[in-house]
Structure 1
Amino acid sequence: MKMGDKLINIDLFEKLTPDIKKYFLSLGLNNETSEDLSQDVFIKMAESYADKKESKKNLRSLMYEVARNVRNDHFRRLYRIPKLQSLEEVEYYLADNVEVESTVLKNLESSELKDKIDLLPPLKQKILELKYNFDFSYQEIAEIMNLELGTVKSQLFRAKEELKTLISND
């Protein structure tokens, strides 16, 4: 499959997969599910470029957008429980929920910084997450969030200033 003038290949998949997998693991999904969803992201990325509807976007930005959509689809499927289920489906559902629950509990016990970040407006939280958890550039964050580059820079600066104030007030 082609993406613009570039060819989507296994090397590209192997280069981007750790970031995608890290994203899914950070949501509390187990290793196997994270790998499966990472493969889904790659397939959807290839389809997007094959359709040429996304060919002008930065690959990392596209990857994150596709991963977010795959995550949403996964959780919709996960929490939509059919009336009749096989034992394997129930075990899969419970295993993922236990992973999510344990990660949430770990995060609740996390540092004071995390608590302070939670006090920030959602936009600033998201920009901080993309910058420091996923190491996106300002330009990539702007593309992912459909914001101007200047807006991303100023919001990140303000978020850091607000964090300094929140921490120093304790």
Structure 2
Amino acid sequence: MQLFATFENNAFLEMVISTLEKKGIKKENIFAVPLDNREEDRKIFDTIHRSDGTSLIDIGMGLATAFSVIGASIGFKLAWGPIYWGLIGASVGFILGLTIRLIMELFIKKKKRVLKGKHSEIILIVDCEETQAEIIEDILWNHFAIGVGKVR
């Protein structure tokens, strides 16, 4: 039987390996495989299949509202009237907000995208007898495995 477990690269991995060796599992039956975690460049525009949870139009909508109110208020004294100046103010505010957000995303937040929360860095594979499987699974969970799977 084989047990598969994923771990972060920390001291608990070393502790689980030494605990397994103390329980009678030979070194030849314990395999640790490091993973290459995905790092990708930050994408600005969302698609149907992927969204990063950040909005590009939030600042634009706020500024569009503020500028349209100001434009409509001032428009009572100007030649085109409050409706046109409110629409002009909304357009200018939205474009200004969208520009600010794009500059923030492109130049200020240049960080690489990493997975949020815990991510697996090592897969631990343990070959054992079926009678030892429950004990080994408990050892893996007690040493903070991210996930555990069994194959008979």
TM over 0.5, yes or no?
no
Larger Rg: 2
More strand by share: 2
Q: Report which structure shows greater RCO (CA 8 Å, sep ≥6).
A: 2
Q: TM-score range by the shorter chain?
A: under 0.3
More helix by share: 1
- What's the TM-score once normalised by structure 1's chain length? 0.22
